[in-house]
């Protein structure tokens, strides 16, 4: 089962906020009461301000009795999650420079049948560690700066290590992998201030230039190495990153 409920929620919340804003405009009393709360959003994105926040992603999947041509899946369970923490400083109005730290974990476990009718089990566990310097621009969509378009350029670096264990006819085979990935790309999105200095943000996946190098050590087999380079500017609207960010103004001296 893949957790998808956050995807429609990501678009529903901005729509609700826009609708709420429209209703407030029709009611002068409501508009006057809201004005003090959202009349200075640009003050939180001026030069010298800071931001901190993060995103969380989670995916779970269960599969059973599925024919995959080269093998038959009797049972398979997998999950992966990633947590990201961002910090940045505004070097100019609506422009931030910062660093993101990401940790992820993946686990897969299953029982399969190969083309010869033999039953075997396969388990995988891996960790991902990433750091990503970035430049973030906020382009306001209204005069108060409550709604903004995000354009974020990232230099993404990741180290991924994992181990796969396969048991067939009481023979255990282990495969250890170590992968380095670098990516320079653009992450677009939308930012909405839901409180005076708290913003809800949704961004898409990174599109850009990627290079990866992977080394694999397998039991009783020679080591293998793989290098990959590709350019991908395809934007997938189903791959959303959802986060909450706090903007802090500099202390007055």
Q: Domain limits of the chain?
A: 6-248
Q: Which of 64-68, 75-79, 161-165, 186-190 is predicted least confidently?
A: 64-68
Cross-strand pairs, 73: 66, 112
Q: Measured between alpha carbons, how far apart are the two ends of the chain, in Å?
A: 53
Average pLDDT in the 160-181 region?
A: 92
pLDDT at residue 2, as a whole number: 36
**Three-point CA angle 19, 189, 78, nearest 5°:** 105
**Three-point CA angle 224, 227, 231, nearest 5°:** 155
Return the higher-pLDDT residue of 97 and 35: 97
pLDDT at residue 135, as a whole number: 96
pLDDT at residue 227, as a whole number: 94
Return the higher-pLDDT residue of 214 and 41: 214
Pick the CATH number of 6-248 from 3.40.630, 2.60.40, 2.30.110, 2.40.128: 2.40.128
pLDDT tens per residue across span 103-138: 999 999 998 888 888 888 999 999 999 999 999 999
149 has a pLDDT exceeding 90: yes
pLDDT at residue 10, as a whole number: 43
pLDDT tens per residue across span 11-52: 444 444 444 444 344 444 434 444 455 567 888 999 999 999
Contact 115, 90 (CB under 8 A): no
CA 124 – CA 170 distance, rounded (Å): 18
pLDDT at residue 40, as a whole number: 72
Return the higher-pLDDT residue of 146 and 2: 146
What is the 8-class DSSP label of residue 202? E
CA 128 – CA 160 distance, rounded (Å): 4
Return the higher-pLDDT residue of 72 and 98: 98
pLDDT at residue 238, as a whole number: 60
C-alpha distance from residue 105 to each of 43, 153, 206, 252 (Å): 38, 25, 19, 42
Average pLDDT, the chain: 82
pLDDT at residue 138, as a whole number: 95
Return the higher-pLDDT residue of 235 and 133: 133
pLDDT at residue 37, as a whole number: 56
181 has a pLDDT exceeding 70: yes
Return the higher-pLDDT residue of 239 and 189: 189
Average pLDDT in the 194-215 region?
A: 88
């Amino acid at each position: 089962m893949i957790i998808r409920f956050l995807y429609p929620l990501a678009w529903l919340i901005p729509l609700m906020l826009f609708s709420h804003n429209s209703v407030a405009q029709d009611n002068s009393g409501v508009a006057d009461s809201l004005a003090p709360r959202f009349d200075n959003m640009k003050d939180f994105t001026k030069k010298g301000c800071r931001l901190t926040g993060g995103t969380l992603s989670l995916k779970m999947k269960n599969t059973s009795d599925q024919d995959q041509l080269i093998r038959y899946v009797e049972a398979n369970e997998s999950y992966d999650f990633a947590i990201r923490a961002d910090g940045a400083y505004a070097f100019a109005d609506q422009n931030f420079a910062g660093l993101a730290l990401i940790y992820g974990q993946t686990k897969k476990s299953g029982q399969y049948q190969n083309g010869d009718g033999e039953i075997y089990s396969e388990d995988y566990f891996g960790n991902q560690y990433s750091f990503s310097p970035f430049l973030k621009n906020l382009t306001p969509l209204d005069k108060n700066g409550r709604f903004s378009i995000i354009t974020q350029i990232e230099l993404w670096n990741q180290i991924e290590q994992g181990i796969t264990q396969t048991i067939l006819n009481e023979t255990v085979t282990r495969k250890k992998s170590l992968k380095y990935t670098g990516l320079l790309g653009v992450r677009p999105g939308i930012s909405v201030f839901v409180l005076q200095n708290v913003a809800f943000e949704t961004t898409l996946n990174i599109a850009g230039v990627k290079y990866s190098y992977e080394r694999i050590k397998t039991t009783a087999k020679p080591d293998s190495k793989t290098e990959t380079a590709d350019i991908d500017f395809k934007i997938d609207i189903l791959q959303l990153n959802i986060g909450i960010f706090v903007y802090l103004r500099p202390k007055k001296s």
